[in-house]
A and B are shown apart, each in its own frame.
Chain A
C-alpha cells in the first residue's frame, strides 16, 4: 500500500537537499535570471554602442581611376565621407575604395551605363559602413543623372519605372512577432526543462548509489515505489521551476527590450491571451513529467555519477531534434505530429503564438504526452524494483585513459557501449557521407569497415573487454543456421512487401533514388560487387557493432523489450533516412532479438545477408520482375508480392522463430 505521507517525506528531504546544491540552483534560477538579461540587454546595448560609434565616425575613402576628380565631388554632399588622396587598398585608414574604369566619365556623359566597383572589407563594420555611404551617395547621383537623361529625351519620370511592385505584409504585428517567438521559445523552453531535470535526476539516483545512501534508504520500511515517487516529484518540480523561470526571465527581458524601443513598441505588439499562457502551462506539466521520468529511468541505470552523465548527455542532445521542429519554417501541428513526443509540445507552442488551433489537437497533445510520461514512469518504476540495478555501485567509466588501468572484463559497461554507438554514428554521418559521395560504392565499404567496425573493435580492445563474449562469437548449431536462412528469406520478402505498401502512403522520392544510384555508381558495378558491398559487408560490420558492441553493454541493464527497441532504433537511425526509419528499425528489433535469444552473432549475420541480398537482386532486376508486381498499370499503384509467396515467407518466418525459441530453451 503506497503511503502519500512517506512520499511527501522523501519529496521534502530531496527538495531541501537539491535546493542547497549550488549546481541545481544555478541551472534553476541563476542561469535564467542572469543569462537572458546579460545576453539581450547588455548584448544589444553593446551592439548599439558599437553601431553608434561606427555611424558617428566619418569614413575615409579613396577613388581610383583617371576620372577620380570627376566623381569625388559626388561624395562631398555627405559630411561623413571624406575622399583621401591615397589610392588604396582597403585598410584601417582607407575604409572603402571606388574603382573607376578609364571610360567612366565618357560613359556617364554619353548616355551609356558606367560601371564602378566599390571595394570594402565585409569583416570590418567600419568598412561596411563606408561602402554603404558610398553606394548611397552614388545612388543620389544615379537619380539626378537619370532625371537629366529623361528630361533631355523629353520623357516623363515614370518612363524608367514601367512596373512598380510592392510587397505588403498583411500579418498583424502580433502574429508576425508571435511567429518569431514561436520558433525560438519552445526550443529554449524544452532544452531548459531538460537541463533543469538533468542534474537532480543524476544526483538522486546514480549520485545516491555512489554515496552508498541508497542502501540505507532501502533498509527503511519504505516501498521502492514510494522512494521513486518522492524522488520523481522532486526532479519534476525542479524541471518545472527551471522551465518557468526561463520563460519568465525571457518574457521579462523581452518586455524590457520592447519598452526601451519606445515609439516602435506598437510595431512589435504581442497579443498573447491568458488562455494561451494557461494552455502552454498545461502542456508544460506533462512535458516536464515526461522528460523527468525518462531522465530518471536512464540515470538510475548508471553505476556512478560520471556514467550517468555519459548516458544522459546524448538524451539531452537527442531532445533538441524534435524540439527544433518548430524552428523550421512552415511546420505546424498535424494529425501525425500531434502524437510525436516533445515535437508536439514544440509545435503546439508555436501554433498557439500565431493562430487558433482546435481543441481536439490540444487534447491530443496533452493526452499523448501524458501517456508517454506515464509509460516512461512505469519504465522507471520497473528499473527501480530491480535490486541489481539499484544497488550496483561499481564505477562504470575509469578515471584514467591508460589501458593498463582497465580491469579485464567479459562485457563492456553501458557507458562504453553508448560511447561506441555515438562515436560510430557521428563518424558515419560526417566522414561516411564524404566517403560515399567521393568514392561511391568503395566509400560504402570503407565506411562500414573503418567507421563502424574498426572503432568498436579498437575501443573494446583498449578497455580490455573480451571480444569473443562482447561480439557473441559463438558458433551456431546447424539447426540455428537453418533457422537463420529461413528467417532471412522470410523476412526479406515480408520486408520488401511492407516497403511496397509504405511506398503508397509515404513514397520514397524517385529523384533521391536516382541520385543515390548515380552517386554510388550502382549501374556500373557487377552484381557480385553489389552483393559483397551492400549485403555481406553491412551484415558483418553492422551486426558486430549493433548486436555486439552496443547490445552486450546494454543487455544487463535493460529489460529485453527495451533492449530490442533501443538497439533497433539505433540501427534504424544509422541508416539516416526518414523513409527507411520504420522498416529498418523493425529489422533492427528482429535482429537484436535473434542475437539475444541465440547468444550468437552469426544467425543474425546470415539473416542480414539474405535480407540485403534479396533487396539488391530485386532492385537491380536480377529477380523476375513478375514476382514483385511493381506498378500495376491498371491500378497505377504498387502491388507487392502475390499472396502465395507471402504465405510461404510467413511460414518460413514462423518456423525460424519456433526453432530459435526451442533451441534457446534447450541451451545449457
Chain B
C-alpha cells in the first residue's frame, strides 16, 4: 500500500463548537450535539465514547460532511467543511459498522465505482486495487459477488473501499459493532496500521477495551454534550476510578445528577 503514501502532519481534524439540532415532534428542536470542540493530529487515534443516542453518529456525520452543522465549524486536512465540502470529502474515508456492500457487484467493481467517484484514473484504481487485494488477502474473492462473501471478507472489502483514495482522515462509526472475533481483529489491525501511516483516525465505540487499547485520546459524549476530551491516563487521574469503564460511568452519572 505504498504507491499513494502521503506525508501527513499537524491537526487533520479540527472541530469548533459543532452543534446539530433536529426537528422533533410538534416542531420542537432536539439537540443531538451541543457544542463539540476538539482536534485530531496526524497519526493520532481519537476515540469517541458514549451510550446509545449520545450524539456520536451525528458528530461523525458532521465531520464527514454528510450532514451540515446547525452552527459551529470543522476543518478536514485544512479544508473548511462548510465552505469547501467537496475538497474536505476528498480527504475523508468514512465507514460505519452498519454499512453493507452492494450485494450484486463484485469487490473489484465496487472499488472501481468508488475510485471513480473520488475522481481517480482507471489505471490508478486498478493498481491500488491490486495492492490492497494483496495486503488484505482479498485476491480469491475479488471477482465474486459481494452478497456471497463472509462477514470477515465483507469487512476487508469495506476497509479497501475506505483506503482506496488514500484519505488523510479516517472516520469510523462503530466499526466493530456486531463482529465476531476474527472480523474484529481485522478491523483493529487496520486501525493500528493506519496510525503508523500517519492518518488521523476518529472512531466511535461502546467497547471500553478497544478504546483503552487503541486510542491516544478519548472524547466522552453524553446527551449531545462533550463531557471530556483527554487521554485515558488523564481521565483516570481526574476521577477516582481504576479503569476506563468506571471513569466513564462516573463522568456520565455525574453529568446526569448535576
Contact = CB atoms under 8 A, between A and B. Distances in A.
Interface of A: 6, 9-10, 13, 16-17, 20-21, 211-213, 215-223, 387-388, 391, 393, 410-411, 469, 556, 599
Interface string B94-110: 11101111111100010
Nearest to B115: A9
B139 interface: no
Given A213-B101, A215-B66, 17 more contacts: A9-B117, A20-B105, A211-B99, A211-B102, A211-B103, A215-B94, A215-B99, A216-B95, A216-B99, A216-B161, A219-B66, A219-B89, A220-B114, A221-B90, A387-B67, A410-B25, A469-B25
Contact of B64 (A213, A219, A599): A219
A599 B23 contact: no
Given A9-B113, A219-B92, A220-B117, A212 B22 contact: no
Contacts of A391: 61, 66-67
Contact of A388 (B23, B92, B101): B23
B117 A213 contact: no
Contacts of B4: none
Interface of B: 22-23, 25-27, 61, 64-68, 86-87, 89-90, 92, 94-96, 98-105, 109, 113-114, 116-119, 145, 161, 171
A394 to B, nearest CB: 12
Nearest to A210: B100
Contact of B105 (A17, A220, A221, A393): A17
B interface majority secondary structure: mixed
Nearest to A388: B22
A21 B104 contact: yes
A1 to B, nearest CB: 9
A186 B90 CA distance: 48
A interface majority secondary structure: helix
A221 B118 CA distance: 6
A220 B118 contact: yes
28 contacts: A13-B102, A13-B113, A17-B102, A20-B104, A211-B99, A211-B100, A211-B102, A212-B99, A213-B99, A213-B100, A213-B101, A215-B66, A215-B94, A216-B99, A217-B117, A218-B66, A219-B65, A219-B89, A219-B94, A221-B86, A221-B89, A221-B118, A221-B119, A387-B67, A388-B23, A391-B61, A391-B66, A469-B26
A469 B86 CA distance: 41
A239 B52 CA distance: 42
Given A21-B104, A215-B94, A469-B26, A222 B117 contact: yes
A348 to B, nearest CB: 37
Contacts of A9: 113, 116-117
- Report which residue of B68, B96, B100, B104 has the largest number of chain A beta carbons within 10 angstroms of its beta carbon: B104
A16 to B, nearest CB: 7
Contacts of A6: 116-117
A212 B100 contact: yes
B103 to A, nearest CB: 8
A556 B113 CA distance: 33
Contact of A212 (B87, B98, B113): B98
Contacts of B101: 213
A238 to B, nearest CB: 14
